Amino acid sequence: MQEEPIREALNAHWQASAAGDLDAEHDIYADDAICDYPQSGERIIGRMNLQALRGHHPDKPSGFEVRRIQGEGNLWVTEYAITYTGRTAYTVSIMEFSNGKVVHETQYFSDPFEAPGWRSRWVQKIA
C-alpha cells in the first residue's frame, strides 16, 4: 500500500475517534486485528471485540489532539493526547498494516507529571 492512502486512513481513523464514531473509527482494522495494551497486560483480538470494548468505555473524550503521525511502509506511529473527565493521557499508537488494514496495534498511555525543578536550567517548557 502506498503511504498516502495509509496517512489518509489514519487521519480518518483519528477524526472518527475524536468524534466518537465507532463504525468509522474501526474501519481501519482487519477483522482479525490484535490490539495490545502493555501497561495493563491486555490483548484484544478481533476488530469486533476492539470496537465493543471501546464502545463500552464509561466516558467520552472531552479532548483529542493528534500531535504527530510518522511512518513508512507498513509501520506507523501516532502521538496524541486524549482527555477523559479532565485528565489528559499522552498516548502513542504503533500500527502495523497488511493489505491496507491494521493487523496489529500497540497503545501506550502516560499520565502527565510535574517536572522536577533541579533540571530547569537545561529545559524549556512546552505545551
Which pLDDT tens digit goes with each residue over 80-124? 999 988 899 999 999 999 999 999 999 999 988 899 999 999 999
The number of domains in the chain is: 1
Residue 124, domain member (yes or no) = no
Q: What CA–CA distance (Å, rounded) separates 1 from 99?
A: 7
Residue 71, domain member (yes or no) = yes
Model pLDDT for residues 54-80, shown as the tens digit of each residue = 999 887 778 899 999 999 999 999 999
Residue 59, domain member (yes or no) = yes
Residue 2 has pLDDT above 80, yes or no: no
Q: What CA–CA distance (Å, rounded) separates 43 from 6?
A: 24
Residue 44, domain member (yes or no) = yes
CATH code at 46?
A: 3.10.450.50
**Boundaries of domain holding 90:** 3-110
pTM above 0.85, yes or no: yes
Residue 125, domain member (yes or no) = no
Residue 41, domain member (yes or no) = yes
